[in-house]
Amino acid sequence: MSYNPEIPRDRYNNYGDREWTRLEKDGHGELLYRVHLEILSRHIKANDKVLEIGAGSGRYTKDIVQFCKSLTVADISEHQIEFNKAKMKELSLFNYIESYHVLDILDMGVFPDSSFDCIVCIGGVINYLLDKEKDGVAEMLRILKPGGIMVVGAMSFIGASLYYLDGIRYEKDQFGIEATRWIFDTGVQDEEHYPVPSKHYVHMMRSNQMDDLFNQFPVKIIERSSAGLFTQAGDAALENARNDKDFWELIVEKEIQFTKLPGTLDCGMNIIYVVQKN
Ligand SMILES: C[S@@+](CC[C@H](N)C(=O)[O-])C[C@H]1O[C@@H](n2cnc3c(N)ncnc32)[C@H](O)[C@@H]1O
């Protein structure tokens, strides 16, 4: 199946405030947030001109804007951009945002070549691109300065299959064992092979696929991380942990540490790559 921009646009135009609440409503969201934030805080420099693409409602916008000199915010969804603006106004951060753009990552012609020191693309934009993944990376690299940094986060297939195993078994009864083999082999949930009623058509990534994607470009991979590793403990264990304050702080500390180990890279719910343009 080829990339269809209507899929992410429709989904996120009809998302209400779920994008804003998803990173704080439960332990899983908080783990994702804390891991991403720690990575962003190390790689974004005070003098950087940054683009956040696929910014959504602004959970990270509010932090990134305080790490850098200038932040440009973009998303394919008009609703998410309007929501992001409203949140930044509420937080008195709106005036610090350079500009907002409703655009597709595949067409960022409004930005000249080598415009940014850093591009943040986290939370799964590249999962929606399917056959256009390479074009998305190429477009980001075009507008990134040489030596600039790109932080790219994606939904992880292996992590998702561990967490949602029973759901996959249920879907096997709907779509058949060959479709199940397909999703395990490729991570691609699409209309032809794995037609989920939600139409959430995505390519969930494995780390070797992320490596293959970036290895086609003149870049150096400088960091790899998972995120949402302790999510695999299950919702109940995670909520019990979160209700135990000092235990939870220790778990968050260990989540940040363990997600950097090569052996855990595919086991979290997300995979994050930090890549430097040559
Ligand atoms: C799961 S949300 C993540 C939001 C935020 N980055 C985060 O991590 O919390 C994915 C966002 O990517 C946007 N998006 C999806 N495909 C896109 C594309 N092709 N170009 C630009 N934005 C896209 C969606 O509209 C949505 O706001």
Query: pLDDT tens digit string along 205-221?
Result: 999 999 999 999 999 99
Closest alpha carbon to 115 in 138, 137, 136, 140: 140
Which backbone phi and psi does 169 adopt, to 5 degrees?
-65, -40
Sign of CA dihedral 15, 21, 22, 23: positive
Instruction: Output the pLDDT for position 193.
Output: 95
Q: Confidence class of residue 22 from pLDDT cuts 50, 70 and 90? A: confident
- Would you say 207 and 224 are in contact if contact means Cβ atoms under 8 Å apart? yes
Residue 104 CA, closest ligand 1 atom number: 20
For residue 65, report the distance from its CA to the centre of ligand 1, in Å.
17
Ligand 1: residue whose CA is nearest its atom 4: 56
- C-alpha angle 44/117/96, rounded to 5°? 65
User: Can you tell me the mean pLDDT for 8-28?
Assistant: 85
- Whose tokens are 């916008």? That residue is 61
Pocket (CB within 6 angstroms of ligand 1):
5, 8, 12, 19, 53-56, 59-60, 75-77, 80, 104-105, 122-125, 128
The domains of the chain are located at 6-157+200-277
Buried b (16+ CB within 10 A) or exposed e, 155-190: bbbbbbbebeeeebeebeeebeeebbebbeebbbbb
Per-residue pLDDT tens digits for 43-91: 999 999 999 999 999 999 999 999 999 999 999 999 999 999 999 999 9
Instruction: Output the pLDDT for position 18.
Output: 77
d(C-alpha 7, C-alpha 4), whole Å: 6
Instruction: Output the pLDDT for position 253.
Output: 98
Is the pTM above the cut of 0.85?
Answer: yes
Q: Confidence class of residue 19 from pLDDT cuts 50, 70 and 90? A: confident
Does the pLDDT value for residue 23 go beyond 80? no
d(C-alpha 177, C-alpha 106), whole Å: 34
Mutational test site, ligand 1, from 24, 110, 125, max ligand atoms within 8 Å of CB = 125
Closest alpha carbon to 19 in 44, 54, 52: 54
Q: Percent of the chain scored above 70 by pLDDT?
A: 100
Instruction: Output the pLDDT for position 4.
Output: 94
Per-residue pLDDT tens digits for 159-193: 999 999 999 999 999 999 999 999 999 999 999 99
Residue 32 CA, closest ligand 1 atom number: 8
Q: What is the CATH number of domain 6-157+200-277?
A: 3.40.50.150
Instruction: Output the pLDDT for position 25.
Output: 85
Task: Number of helices (H) and strands (E) in the chain: give both, helices first.
Answer: 12, 9
